[in-house]
Copies of this chain bind each other. A is one copy, B any other.
């Protein structure tokens, strides 16, 4: 199914764009389903983003937008309404235009992460979890973990105020949740997650002291630069079950598809069709 004048667009917004994977996951699925929609990467710098959004959604053939770094937080100020998860996360990774022209923002990073670890057998209810990184994706994962019933959350971010702000938003929605802020010692947690950018660059330090991760602790990653980052490799060497960043990506796509009112696929089906060649 080729691009034509009848093709509707899902803009994939971020900067830089080189590592984008969504076009190679969504587009084969749309082709498989004979749905005339294409995910199209659009690189946009932070200083130009606020002007782009209204212009982009004035296109007559725009179906929606996938939002990635560095625009997830800024999107909150550019949509007309947000889901509760997006509100806690303080970030959106999806924008949909409603029939009346208004824009709705939602956030599926956290849902994708939680769906993935649950399908791998991790029981979230009552678990003690640590999330390193309180930016868009870290906040989303924390929000989704709280919604999935964890009893305790430990938060850490290089910017201390960011971690505290997330804790405040979580506490407002989940007053019974046990929150610890600015600790990145993985010991004593059933789940530890790297939701920081550490691992994007080869020279990056590990996001926590891996020697303190207990064998049996479930270890999750959001960096997708490579399937098994140095952090995940170290965790696997300790015998820990892991979830790579790309799993989160595939797990969240059914939620996205539903949000855009498009045919929904299972993560496995999407992965089978995807044209990603590392």
Contacts and interface: CB of A to CB of B under 8 A. Distances in A.
A21 B18 CA distance: 28
A3 B41 contact: yes
A142 to B, nearest CB: 27
Contacts of A54: 51
- Determine which residue in A43, A56, A59 has the highest number of CB atoms from chain B within 10 A of its CB, and name it: A59
A207 interface: no
B17 A60 contact: yes
Interface residues of A, number: 38
22 contacts: A2-B27, A3-B23, A3-B38, A4-B24, A5-B12, A5-B16, A5-B20, A9-B40, A9-B42, A15-B60, A17-B60, A17-B61, A38-B40, A40-B40, A41-B61, A42-B59, A42-B61, A43-B61, A45-B60, A48-B58, A52-B55, A55-B56
Interface of A: 2-7, 9, 12, 15-21, 23-24, 27-28, 38-45, 48, 51-52, 54-56, 58-61, 275
